[in-house]
Chains A and B, each alone.
Chain A
Amino acid sequence: MGNWLVNHWLLVLILVVWLGLNVFLFIYTFLTYEMSDKYYYTREILGTALAFARASALCLNCNSMLILIPVCRNLLSFLRGTCSFCSHTLRKPLDHNLTFHKLVAYMICIFTAIHIIAHLFNFEHYSRSQQAMDGSLASVLSTLSHPEKAGNSWLNPIQSPNTTVMYVAFTSIAGLTGVLITTVLILMVTSAMEFIRRNYFELFWYTHHLFIIYIICLGLHGLGGIVRAQTEESMSENHPHNCSESYQKWGTHESKCKHPHFEGHPPASWKWILAPIALYIFERILRFYRSKQKVVITKVVMHPSKVLELQMRKRGFSMEVGQYIFVNCPSISLLEWHPFTLTSAPEEDFFSIHVRAAGDWTENFIRAFEQQHSPMPRIEVDGPFGTVSEDVFQYEVAVLVGAGIGVTPFASILKSIWYKFQRADHKLKTQKIYFYWICRETGAFAWFNHLLNSLEQEMEELGKVGFLNYRLFLTGWDSNIAGHAAFNFDKATDILTGLKQKTFFGRPMWDNEFSAVATAHPKSVVGVFLCGPQTLAKSLRKCCHRYSSLDPRKVQFYFNKENF
């Protein structure tokens, strides 16, 4: 727990500050509307619902401002680049931008619910006091503007007993924009549910652009000035503390109190959202500009099981290990951008991606490159984005675990480690690597096989056979495969992969692996890196705790789970 806190203190700080800001704004506004004198008469009709509505409105403004910022990925990358001298811990929050975006979205939903419920009560109270015939203060206040309509000093937006709340809601700017904004919010949230997002991404992507309507309606929402406060001038003639008791005598000769005058607030939302809107527009222009830059495809390789490798060059492109890019192919789809992890090392003079056929777009993409006779389709690239896993190079001993598709960023990492090792780069502290590759079947990752093969050969040539230890675990085996393996037990290379290291079947027994590593390196700091499912993360974290020695001088395991 302590280890986690040390690594993530900035994230926790940001969360605490954000929650604290929301709580503070809510309570501050609530108390203003609940205690302040200029809302005394308004409260007479509306009660506490007024304060709830206004407090939640301010928090909505604040959160609507914050929600656009985490999705400006180019600007965040720029921040990461400029702050490269900052430690990795300081830059980590930038990798969790989408999580923050979702948290702010949930907060917006919660405050929207509070805001709407409070305003429903407000409308109902206004309607009741307009229809009340009991001569109470509330009904007197409601009838206020009748003789003085020209002075525009009404309090109750419902002007006649026959007007229904429904009518007012749909004929006022606030009501109309309110219904529209909430409908749009609900559509955005339902199409952003994890199930829809993972399986029908384009639906989520296009529907989410309704946020433009959200922003416009938010800016217009306060235009009507329905929330009224007593004017300063009127407070001097009719202070609630002195005059509220004698409301039947207002404006008559017997009392000094005149009728109170009210004014509405000018809209305030636009002040909150103007800057993020400008930032976001700039971000989209930047994305468009970057995507227009020429991408030169230097090599196209078709791997078995329909995996396409593309090696490309782009001016001004520089990457780090474990990052990803967005790729667009206008001849397939004008508007779709799909993310791919980079599989090349920063030391190489090109950057590459491996594309697997996993849906409409990828299948069309691979087919477009398979045609050798037609010219190569033009592609656009945006990036690189994402977490930078430099920590891998900082540990003497590194345990790398890649499960399934999670093995892709390790292609980049392994290549980079190998280049650094060859050049005796002093930034590379790694002396030994244990690489665990767990997958159901190797078919779609045959290209990774080739990579391990070539690394194996190069290490033999350099005489450093012990540097990289890798184990491949096939979890999708059947008796046929096992039979073959048993039959070919004596062969030097594995029959499935052709590698010197034999394939294991089933899942790794982490206890054995960790105790073997701990025994082999009794005094080292071991970094454990995982790219894979959550369940695996849990078991690895447990093993890290169990096999870390209590003595800080002896072996210590540090677990890093990165979302590559």
Chain B
Amino acid sequence: MGQIEWAMWANEQALASGLILITGGIVATAGRFVQWYFGAYSIAAGVFICLLEYPRGKRRKGSTMERCGQKYMTAVVKLFGPLTRNYYIRAVLHLLLSVPAGFLLATILGTVCLVIASAIYLLAAIRGEQWTPIEQKPKERPQVGGTIKQPPTNPPPRPPAEVRKKPSEGEEAGAAAGGPQINPIPVTDEVV
């Protein structure tokens, strides 16, 4: 139980509430119910909440499944910085958004669900959770031989000329580099 990230559930609940608000709003507006303008508000609020909640935040541990096509909304939501990162603000925002929809029976279900989502966000905020966007990892293609650009332009380093010219002196410097190799055993080239 200790590892539950409440914000993840609050996010699902808020998204569901947004959809319910939209549906209730459409019913009230299309049916021209009494005080149907609350229904119109409910549609607008529902759309806003769905857009805000669609990008899922990153989990603290482990990998997070992105929702389909969420990267566009992630870019927008990221722009607001602390306003969207902080869950206290989201809790208050959802609470305020839910109030006008509570005046109409068609949308009151959305209100109840949104208030619950707001409460869960409050719990998440108290436990110090934050919304972190899921970043796109830049695709790194390991280039095979990518560092091989051109053949070397300089010949390999050779010892100074005077060392090369005196192989019989037996000095280490001379022996290390050596001139043409003298093979103790005759070597034949068998490569076909």
A439 interface contact, C-beta 8 A: no
Which residues of A lie under 8 Å from residue B113 when comparing CB positions? 183, 186
Inter-chain contact B8/A200, CB cutoff 8 Å? yes
Inter-chain contact A186/B4, CB cutoff 8 Å? no
Which residues of A lie under 8 Å from residue B65 when comparing CB positions? 195
Inter-chain contact B13/A190, CB cutoff 8 Å? yes
- Which of B5, B28, B105 has the most chain A CB atoms inside 10 A of its CB? B105
Which residues of B lie under 8 Å from residue A116 when comparing CB positions? 109
Enumerate 7 A-B pairs (CB-CB under 8 Å) in ascending A order.
A120-B106, A121-B31, A165-B105, A179-B109, A187-B116, A195-B8, A202-B1
Chain A minimum-CB-distance residue to B24: A120
Inter-chain contact A200/B16, CB cutoff 8 Å? no
A147 interface contact, C-beta 8 A: no
A199 interface contact, C-beta 8 A: yes
Inter-chain contact B109/A190, CB cutoff 8 Å? no
A contact set with B: CB distance below 8 Å: 113, 116-117, 120-121, 123-124, 127, 164-166, 169, 179, 182-183, 186-187, 189-191, 193, 195-196, 199-200, 202-203, 359-360
List residues of B (76-106) whose CB comes within 8 Å of A's CBs.
Answer: 103-106
B152 interface contact, C-beta 8 A: no
User: Known contacts A165-B105, A179-B112, A187-B13: does B34 contact A200 (CB below 8 Å)?
Assistant: no
B22 interface contact, C-beta 8 A: no
B48 interface contact, C-beta 8 A: no
Inter-chain contact A199/B1, CB cutoff 8 Å? no
List residues of B (24-73) whose CB comes within 8 Å of A's CBs.
Answer: 24, 27-28, 31, 33-34, 56, 59, 62, 65
Inter-chain contact B16/A190, CB cutoff 8 Å? yes
The residue from A117, A124, A196 contacting B8, defined by CB atoms under 8 A apart: A196
In the assembled complex, the CB of B56 is this many whole angstroms from the nearest CB of chain A, namely 8
Q: In the bound complex, what is the Cα–Cα distance between A121 and B103 (angstroms)?
A: 16
Inter-chain contact B105/A169, CB cutoff 8 Å? yes
Which residues of B lie under 8 Å from residue A117 when comparing CB positions? 23, 27
User: Known contacts A121-B31, A186-B20, A187-B116: does B109 contact A200 (CB below 8 Å)?
Assistant: no
In the assembled complex, the CB of B103 is this many whole angstroms from the nearest CB of chain A, namely 8
Inter-chain contact B12/A196, CB cutoff 8 Å? yes
In the assembled complex, the CB of B50 is this many whole angstroms from the nearest CB of chain A, namely 14
Q: In the bound complex, what is the Cα–Cα distance between A164 and B103 (angstroms)?
A: 11
B contact set with A: CB distance below 8 Å: 1-5, 8-9, 12-13, 16, 20, 23-24, 27-28, 31, 33-34, 56, 59, 62, 65, 103-106, 108-109, 112-113, 116
Inter-chain contact B105/A120, CB cutoff 8 Å? yes
Inter-chain contact B112/A200, CB cutoff 8 Å? no
CB contacts between A and B, total, < 8 Å: 73
Inter-chain contact B31/A196, CB cutoff 8 Å? no
User: Known contacts A166-B105, A360-B3: does B9 contact A196 (CB below 8 Å)?
Assistant: yes
User: Known contacts A123-B105, A179-B112: does B9 contact A200 (CB below 8 Å)?
Assistant: yes
Inter-chain contact B108/A120, CB cutoff 8 Å? no
In the assembled complex, the CB of A330 is this many whole angstroms from the nearest CB of chain B, namely 16
Which residues of B lie under 8 Å from residue A124 when comparing CB positions? 31, 33-34
Inter-chain contact A182/B27, CB cutoff 8 Å? no
Q: In the bound complex, what is the Cα–Cα distance between A164 and B12 (angstroms)?
A: 32
Q: In the bound complex, what is the Cα–Cα distance between A187 and B5 (angstroms)?
A: 16
In the assembled complex, the CB of B29 is this many whole angstroms from the nearest CB of chain A, namely 12
Inter-chain contact A186/B9, CB cutoff 8 Å? no
In the assembled complex, the CB of B46 is this many whole angstroms from the nearest CB of chain A, namely 14
Chain B minimum-CB-distance residue to A113: B23
In the assembled complex, the CB of A182 is this many whole angstroms from the nearest CB of chain B, namely 6
Inter-chain contact A120/B8, CB cutoff 8 Å? no
In the assembled complex, the CB of A529 is this many whole angstroms from the nearest CB of chain B, namely 28
Q: In the bound complex, what is the Cα–Cα distance between A124 and B106 (angstroms)?
A: 10
The residue from A183, A196, A203 contacting B112, defined by CB atoms under 8 A apart: A183
14 more A-B residue pairs beyond the given contacts A187-B116, A190-B16, with a C-beta to C-beta distance below 8 A? A113-B23, A117-B23, A120-B24, A164-B34, A166-B105, A179-B108, A179-B109, A183-B113, A186-B20, A187-B13, A190-B12, A199-B62, A200-B8, A203-B9
In the assembled complex, the CB of A125 is this many whole angstroms from the nearest CB of chain B, namely 9
Inter-chain contact A120/B9, CB cutoff 8 Å? no
Inter-chain contact A120/B13, CB cutoff 8 Å? no
Which residues of B lie under 8 Å from residue A190 when comparing CB positions? 9, 12-13, 16
Q: In the bound complex, what is the Cα–Cα distance between A187 and B62 (angstroms)?
A: 25
Chain B minimum-CB-distance residue to A204: B9
Q: In the bound complex, what is the Cα–Cα distance between A164 and B104 (angstroms)?
A: 10
Q: In the bound complex, what is the Cα–Cα distance between A183 and B17 (angstroms)?
A: 10
Inter-chain contact A120/B27, CB cutoff 8 Å? yes
Which residues of A lie under 8 Å from residue B13 when comparing CB positions? 186-187, 190
- Which of A179, A189, A195 has the most chain B CB atoms inside 10 A of its CB? A195
Which residues of B lie under 8 Å from residue A169 when comparing CB positions? 105, 108
User: Known contacts A120-B27, A124-B33, A190-B13: does B5 contact A200 (CB below 8 Å)?
Assistant: yes
Chain A minimum-CB-distance residue to B15: A190
Chain A minimum-CB-distance residue to B36: A124
Q: In the bound complex, what is the Cα–Cα distance between A183 and B16 (angstroms)?
A: 11
The residue from A165, A191, A360 contacting B9, defined by CB atoms under 8 A apart: A191
Q: In the bound complex, what is the Cα–Cα distance between A65 and B19 (angstroms)?
A: 27
Chain B minimum-CB-distance residue to A183: B112
Which residues of B lie under 8 Å from residue A193 when comparing CB positions? 12
Which residues of B lie under 8 Å from residue A164 when comparing CB positions? 34
Q: In the bound complex, what is the Cα–Cα distance between A142 and B13 (angstroms)?
A: 39
Which residues of A lie under 8 Å from residue B5 when comparing CB positions? 200
In the assembled complex, the CB of A161 is this many whole angstroms from the nearest CB of chain B, namely 12
Which residues of B lie under 8 Å from residue A191 when comparing CB positions? 9, 12
Which residues of B lie under 8 Å from residue A123 when comparing CB positions? 105
Which residues of A lie under 8 Å from residue B33 when comparing CB positions? 120, 124
In the assembled complex, the CB of A334 is this many whole angstroms from the nearest CB of chain B, namely 12
In the assembled complex, the CB of A203 is this many whole angstroms from the nearest CB of chain B, namely 5
Chain A minimum-CB-distance residue to B103: A166
Chain B minimum-CB-distance residue to A196: B9
Chain B minimum-CB-distance residue to A361: B1
Q: In the bound complex, what is the Cα–Cα distance between A360 and B9 (angstroms)?
A: 19
Q: In the bound complex, what is the Cα–Cα distance between A273 and B109 (angstroms)?
A: 25
Inter-chain contact B34/A203, CB cutoff 8 Å? no
